[in-house]
């Protein structure tokens, strides 16, 4: 199926939709303009409790205004009550400040704990009759040896041949 046939079929369907809409305008206008009566009756006495005279426009306007009022009330409810904290991604300033403060306290406690561990290790060395400076030198050497040193890049013969081949291909294009 060619593109022109597809396009003509598509536009034919669009034209058919608008033709049906145009021909059905009388049905829509009848629903909108004519008045209907909505009655609530008592089933025992058949006495009329509530009666409304409605048209399609009245129903449409009533539903539109009702939906707008509901949206407005929901927005007010979320804006001025603690329910806003349930919205995902909403940042509560009090909670953000508390999180920052907790992180700062944890960091200072970790620093203090490391200092106490160092002091205890030094006291253990002193009780064993050793110099704590020796322990610090040994730990510094240990940390230097555990660091991963980057391996220097060395060109191999296979790498050079591959580079030459790729460069020849690029020049050939």
Q: Give the contacts of 47 (CB within 8 A, at least 6 positions apart).
A: 41
- Sign of the C-alpha dihedral, residues 128, 130, 136, 137? negative
Q: How far apart are CA 26 and CA 59, in angstroms?
A: 18
Tokens for 125? 């060395």
Q: How far apart are CA 27 and CA 59, in angstroms?
A: 16
Q: How far apart are CA 119 and CA 132, in angstroms?
A: 10
Alpha helices (H) along 93-131: 93-127
pLDDT at position 162? 82
- Asked whether the whole model's pTM tops 0.75, one would answer no
CA–CA distance from 82 to each of 78, 85, 92, 97 (Å)? 7, 6, 10, 18
DSSP one-letter code for 155: -
The pairing of strands 48-55 and 35-41 is: antiparallel
Q: For every one of its 173 residues, what pLDDT tens digit does the chain have, with 9 covering 90 and above? A: 677 877 788 788 888 877 877 776 666 666 677 787 889 999 999 899 999 888 878 888 888 999 999 999 999 998 888 888 787 777 777 888 898 999 999 999 999 999 999 888 888 888 888 887 887 787 777 776 666 666 666 677 877 888 888 888 888 86
pLDDT at position 103? 93
Report the candidate in 116, 120, 149, 146 with the shortest Cα–Cα distance to residue 135.
Answer: 120
Task: Give me the residue spans of the domains in the chain.
Answer: 94-144
């Amino acid at each position: 199926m060619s593109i022109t046939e597809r396009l003509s079929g598509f536009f034919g369907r669009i034209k058919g939709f608008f033709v049906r809409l145009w021909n059905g305008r009388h049905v829509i206008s009848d629903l909108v303009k004519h008045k209907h009566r909505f009655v609530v009756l008592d089933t025992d006495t058949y006495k009329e409790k509530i009666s409304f005279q409605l048209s399609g426009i009245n129903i449409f306007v009533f539903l539109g205004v009702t939906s707008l009022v509901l949206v407005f009330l929901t927005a007010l409810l979320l804006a001025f009550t603690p329910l806003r904290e349930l919205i995902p991604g909403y940042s509560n300033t009090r909670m953000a400040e508390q999180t920052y403060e907790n992180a700062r306290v944890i960091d200072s406690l970790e620093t203090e704990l490391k200092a106490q561990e160092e002091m205890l290790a030094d006291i253990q060395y002193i009780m064993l009759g050793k110099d704590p400076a020796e322990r610090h030198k040994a730990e510094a050497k240990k940390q230097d040896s555990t660091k991963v040193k980057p391996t220097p890049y060395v060109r191999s013969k296979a790498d050079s041949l591959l580079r030459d081949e790729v460069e020849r291909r690029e020049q050939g294009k």
